[in-house]
Amino acid sequence: MSLKNLTLQGLIDMGLEKVPAEFDRRTGSIIYDTIASAATPLLYVAMEGAQIEDATYIETTYGEYADMLVAGKAITRYPATKAIKKGRFTTEKGAAIGIANGTRFSAVDSADGLIFSVVGPMDTPGEYMLECETAGTVGNSYYGPLIPISYIDTLATAEIIGDYREARDVESDEDLKKRYLDTFKRNSFGGNVGQYDEEVKKLDGVGEVQVHRAYPKSGHVLLSIVGPSYRKISADLIKTLQDIIDPEINGSQGTGLGMAPIFHTVHVTTPVERTIPISFKLQVLNGYTVAQLEPLIKAELENLFVTMRKEWGVLNETTHTYITIVYTSRIIVAVSGILGVANISDVKIDGSANDLSLKETGALQELPILGAISINGE
């Protein structure tokens, strides 16, 4: 019997089975009460044993036990990182102003009380990189005005205008276990696809990657990268990753002075975001209106598209290619599961009633982004 299935009454019954029939084993008898008293602490031992049993197997392990289990494969949980944003600072006349590294600013419109610190200048005068002091994705979504924590003479405006590098949250148990199990499906070695996939994902600002041969020359590798929110990355981050993976030394690449093996000329890029409009007919149940359900439908479809973007960098085990397909069936399932929806029909993806296959090749990589949602309601 599994430790998980043990109950107090089950332990008592197991004890009573060992008592000869001629003795009184009824509830309330001395023997029954004695066995019940002994069974209670045994149940707690069994419960702890069940937790240990769960922690032993990769499918059910969790928390620190998962960390210890995957360590045997030299895998460690990805920690939370900090978002780095682009900031602009000007005087009252709109002129660029110099800001010292370490200068701290408070986000004006943030409910999370975010603080950003200057970590370095950008190429454009008056623009700087700012690191969010709070780790995790909470810093990714803030754009807008900043207030200096200490007075800065002649500073009139300070604002976050864009992203340099997105942050990620600490890796979840499920993602950690998936990464561990993936090591048994491929042999990461010598600059093959598996090794590029494994090593590039360890870099800050990387959420997923596609690895392609970059035609027409042999020895050329193309890495198409999305950030932790599974959107395209900035040109500045592309340059940073390029320098880490395969820097240009004296006008040449493939020198082996970055992460990439010698003679591998690596080109870092990011996919083209393809905005995909969705339309369909919707029937709602009595007591509901299309207007009521629209926000729920949009949220559900947004989640579906995020899921598709998470799958964007997964190499198909049969075709050994990257495949991104927006299926009408997935849209129907997502919308049909919303309370109040009676039926969904006539689904069109980008104006077509067919499933939509995106291009995922060395020449072009497309990333699905949810566009306008048109609902013909009844």
Of the candidates 142, 269, 267, 167, the residue with the CA atom closest to the CA atom of residue 227? 167
pLDDT reported for residue 337: 95
- pLDDT at residue 54 tops 60: yes
Q: How far apart are CA 296 and CA 306, in angstroms?
A: 15
pLDDT reported for residue 333: 97
154 neighbors 90 (Cβ within 8 angstroms): no
| CA-CA-CA-CA dihedral for 135, 181, 186, 224, to nearest 10 | -30
Per-residue confidence band for 1, with pLDDT thresholds at 50, 70 and 90: low
Per-residue confidence band for 3, with pLDDT thresholds at 50, 70 and 90: low
pLDDT reported for residue 2: 63
- State pLDDT tens for residues 61-92: 999 999 999 998 889 999 999 999 999 999 99
Q: What angle do CA 315, 316, 317 make, to 5 degrees?
A: 110
- State pLDDT tens for residues 284-319: 999 999 999 999 999 999 999 999 999 999 999 899
Domain ranges of the chain: 3-56, 60-78+172-182, 84-165, 186-269, 273-377
- State pLDDT tens for residues 126-145: 999 999 999 999 999 999 99
Q: Which long-range contacts (CB under 8 A, 24 or more apart) does 325-334 make?
A: 325/355, 325/356, 325/357, 325/358, 326/276, 326/355, 326/356, 326/358, 326/368, 327/355, 328/353, 328/354, 328/355, 330/304, 331/278, 331/280, 331/301, 331/304, 334/300, 334/301, 334/303, 334/304
Backbone angles phi, psi at 134, to 5 degrees: -95, 125
- State pLDDT tens for residues 320-378: 999 999 999 999 999 999 999 999 999 999 999 999 999 999 999 999 999 999 999 76
Of the candidates 200, 309, 331, 209, the residue with the CA atom closest to the CA atom of residue 260? 200
Higher local confidence (pLDDT), 105 or 49: 105
pLDDT reported for residue 49: 76
* Exposed e or buried b per residue across 28-65, where buried means at least 16 C-beta atoms within 10 angstroms of its C-beta: eeeebeebbeebeeebeebeeebeeeebeeeeebeeeb
357: helix, strand or coil: strand
Q: 149: phi > 0 → left, psi -120 to 50 → alpha, else beta; which?
A: alpha
Per-residue confidence band for 160, with pLDDT thresholds at 50, 70 and 90: very high
99 neighbors 152 (Cβ within 8 angstroms): yes
- State pLDDT tens for residues 10-36: 878 888 888 888 888 788 888 888 888
pTM of the model: 0.81
Q: 305: which 2 tokens?
A: 């598209």
* CB-neighbour burial class of residue 165 (10 A; exposed 0-12, middle 13-18, buried 19+): buried
Residue 322: alpha-carbon gap to chain centroid: 18
pLDDT reported for residue 195: 92
- State pLDDT tens for residues 240-291: 999 999 999 988 999 999 999 999 999 999 999 999 999 999 999 999 999 9
161: helix, strand or coil: strand
